[in-house]
Amino acid sequence: MHYISSVEIENFRSCQNVIVELSPFTPLVGYNNAGKSNIILAVQWLIKGKSLENKDFFNDSDCSPDSAEVIGTIEGITEGLLNTLGDVHKSKIEKFIDNSQLKIKRSQSKNNKSELWVWNDSKWNKNPTGIDNAIKVLFPEPIRIGAMDNATEDVSKSKTSTTIGKLLSEFISPIKDEHETKLKPHFDEIQKSLSAQGDSRLSELNKFDTSINEKIKDFFPDMSLKIDIKTPSFDEIFKDGGTIRVYENGNEGRDCSAYGHGAQRAIQMALIRHLADIKSSDSDPSPTTLLLIDEPELYLHPFAIEQTREALKTLSKKGYQVLFSTHSPQMITAKDAQNTLLIRKESHSTKVRKRLGKAIQETVPDSNSQEELLFSLTHSSQILFSEIVVLAEGKTEQRLFPFLFEKVSKKTLGQKNIAFIQLDGVGNTAKSMKILHAMDLPAKAIVDLDYILLYAKHHGLDDKCADFESVNSIFQRLEIEGKVSLKSGSPKKFDNNSEKPFSLLAQELEAKNAIENIHNLFKSKNVWVWKQGTIENILELSDKNVKTHSQFKTNMNNKDIEDFPFYDELRELVEWLSA
């Protein structure tokens, strides 16, 4: 299917200069007032072209431009699609197609009307004859569902711009085809009985005509009158008569306006789900309709959110390009995370962070590593809703650190806007930090002491400096004492546990100063190294199993955390993460 693959927005509302890459199913994530809705409105304006008001132009203390524009690239305009447009529209649009792409621009100066431009021969062509109508065939009237707007207009009227209007258009044709032969004669008879041109008008109407004409002749002898009662045609009944009535607890049916936002939103999403059911079995090619929604999850319970998400995904594969803002991780699956756009505001202007999928492709050249990292990061949807990401490897960190963080800071990680992510392997830590940096997402990591010799270079640290040499010399002594085994100068696994040699290192008084210095070096690179080897050593845990972790929590709940010997180090870590 064809879709808008990118838009460049300039001086539209909060978007001073924004480039947005889109897919058929694109979630927008960001805090309130970041500009998510403005991006949605810009896409709608590109296709719909309604003239802007002064409030629609970017405006801050330093910049108040006189014009706004949105440039859109449309992908997937094949010869087969062009043939479905009809000869007239095809002839207007096909000369502007380049490699199945069409590039259009909507622009407007203040106090003027919006104008449509098409890119061709390395220049913009202003409103070529017939192009606007051809594009409206490619992209019919968008469906726009706002977040907090009263939904009555959308669910109680069958206009083509509303959800119910689009829904009715999907099944009205088969209803008409099936019942027209049977019902149309009845409509014709009514028209014959009531209209001025009817040949079997009601006698009461003829009587009225005779009486009024006797009186009009006194004024205009050549004039005559007939009463004409308008009756809708068969087509008009389906076009204008579709509404939604709500029945509850045996009442006679009420208009949607009698219900609150929650019920109205539920009705909207039910219509969306039904539309998805209809389209799921439809294999015929059709124009693409933009479905633009602010926070579809509003007022819905968790299961309804999941059902809404799946309905929207179905529609995105069946003739609808879905673009929506959301604050709910349930609206985004792991597969969708790589195409999700993170929206933020910087210096009064909306910015779009690089997509996770693109950041991985650019940062990690190895395709197998890309898949592994994509799996690790996309299965942590809270990344998309955070302001800082903390990466960790071990099960103990996963199970206990959020608990410890709250004990120390008196706030949850979520309250601090921190995403706490467990990676599948310590080898992914440095790569993941580079990916998050490419996305402009602040990231920190918590690692065991065995990380320092393997990954110092990955963080731009000199592993040949005095402190690292000191650690290596201590390991050489420990090897002579029979406590560790070295391979190429580094400790080998000890009893299938690579952490054991570094736990022994941490107990050496001679190593304390070097470990402290290396710890601070890594901190400068946003990596926290457990100076005692592992978190288990810090917390004095005998094992990493669930039973041990549960017992630790129980003991913690019965005492003040400040009474534990590890409190000072944990407090320092929590303050560092929160800084």
Q: Which of 305, 322, 346 is the last residue of a domain?
A: 346
At 284 the pLDDT is: 65
Q: What is the mean pLDDT of residues 122-130?
A: 93
DSSP state of 30: -
Quick check: 447 and 472 in contact, CB under 8 A? no
Residues 242, 315 within the same domain: no
At 236 the pLDDT is: 73
Measured distance CA(339)–CA(374) in Å, rounded: 11
Residues 340, 418 within the same domain: no
Residues 401, 532 within the same domain: yes
Q: Which of 188, 223, 257 is the last residue of a domain?
A: 257
Residues 319, 389 within the same domain: no
Residues 409, 543 within the same domain: yes
**Weakest-pLDDT range from 124-128, 187-191, 448-452:** 187-191
Instruction: Please indicate, yes or no, if residue 140 is contained in any of the structural domains.
Output: yes
Residues 438, 469 within the same domain: yes
Q: 130: which 2 tokens?
A: 């017939």
Residues 11, 65 within the same domain: yes
Residues 6+ apart with CB under 8 A from 165: 157, 158, 159, 242
pLDDT band, residue 519 (cuts 50/70/90):
very high
Calculate the alpha carbon distances from 484 to 39, 96, 479, 534 in Å: 59, 71, 5, 17
**Weakest-pLDDT range from 64-68, 289-293, 312-316, 401-405:** 64-68
Calculate the alpha carbon distances from 30 to 327, 374, 386, 514 in Å: 7, 21, 9, 42
Q: Which residues pair with 74 in a beta bridge?
A: 4, 102
Quick check: 472 and 510 in contact, CB under 8 A? no
Amino acid symbol at 331:
M
Q: Is the pLDDT of residue 495 over 50?
A: no
Instruction: Please indicate, yes or no, if residue 158 is contained in any of the structural domains.
Output: no
Instruction: Please indicate, yes or no, if residue 290 is contained in any of the structural domains.
Output: yes
**Weakest-pLDDT range from 245-259, 438-452, 465-479:** 245-259
Residues 332, 373 within the same domain: no
Q: 537: which 2 tokens?
A: 């050593």
Instruction: Please indicate, yes or no, if residue 269 is contained in any of the structural domains.
Output: no
At 497 the pLDDT is: 54
Q: Tell me which residue has tokens 């440095």.
A: 430
Residues 524, 389 within the same domain: yes
Q: What is the mean pLDDT of residues 175-189?
A: 82
| pLDDT, tens digit (0-9, with 9 covering 90-100), for 311-333 | 999 999 999 999 999 999 899 98
**Weakest-pLDDT range from 70-79, 108-117, 196-205, 483-492:** 483-492
At 372 the pLDDT is: 76
Residues 316, 295 within the same domain: yes
Q: Which of 321, 346, 371 is the last residue of a domain?
A: 346
Parent domain of 253: 163-257
Extended beta strands in 67-216, E state? 67-75, 102-109, 115-120, 123-126, 143-145
Q: What percent of the chain has pLDDT over 90?
A: 53
Instruction: Please indicate, yes or no, if residue 174 is contained in any of the structural domains.
Output: yes
pLDDT band, residue 158 (cuts 50/70/90):
low
Radius of gyration over alpha carbons of the chain, in Å?
A: 33
Q: Is the pLDDT of residue 75 over 80?
A: yes
Q: What is the mean pLDDT of residues 116-123?
A: 94
Residues 471, 570 within the same domain: yes
At 56 the pLDDT is: 94
At 279 the pLDDT is: 83
Q: What is the mean pLDDT of residues 465-490?
A: 89
Measured distance CA(99)–CA(554) in Å, rounded: 64
Residues 282, 234 within the same domain: no
Q: Is the pLDDT of residue 414 over 70?
A: yes
| pLDDT, tens digit (0-9, with 9 covering 90-100), for 229-254 | 888 777 777 665 567 788 887 777 88
Q: What is the mean pLDDT of residues 120-138?
A: 92
| pLDDT, tens digit (0-9, with 9 covering 90-100), for 346-379 | 888 999 999 988 888 888 888 777 777 777 787 6
Q: 50-54: long-range contacts at Cβ-Cβ below 8 A with a sequence spacing of 24 or more?
A: 50/114, 51/108, 51/112, 51/113, 51/114, 52/12, 52/108, 52/114, 54/110
CA angle 41, 44, 46 (to 5 degrees): 110
Q: Tell me which residue has tokens 């106090």.
A: 111
Instruction: Please indicate, yes or no, if residue 528 is contained in any of the structural domains.
Output: yes
Q: Is the pLDDT of residue 129 over 70?
A: yes
Q: Identify the sign of the CA torsion 549, 550, 551, 556.
A: positive
Q: Average model confidence (pLDDT) for the chain?
A: 88
Domain count, the chain: 3
Q: What is the mean pLDDT of residues 251-264?
A: 81
Q: What is the mean pLDDT of residues 89-107?
A: 95
At 493 the pLDDT is: 56
Instruction: Please indicate, yes or no, if residue 544 is contained in any of the structural domains.
Output: yes
Q: Tell me which residue has tokens 């941490």.
A: 506
Measured distance CA(528)–CA(445) in Å, rounded: 6
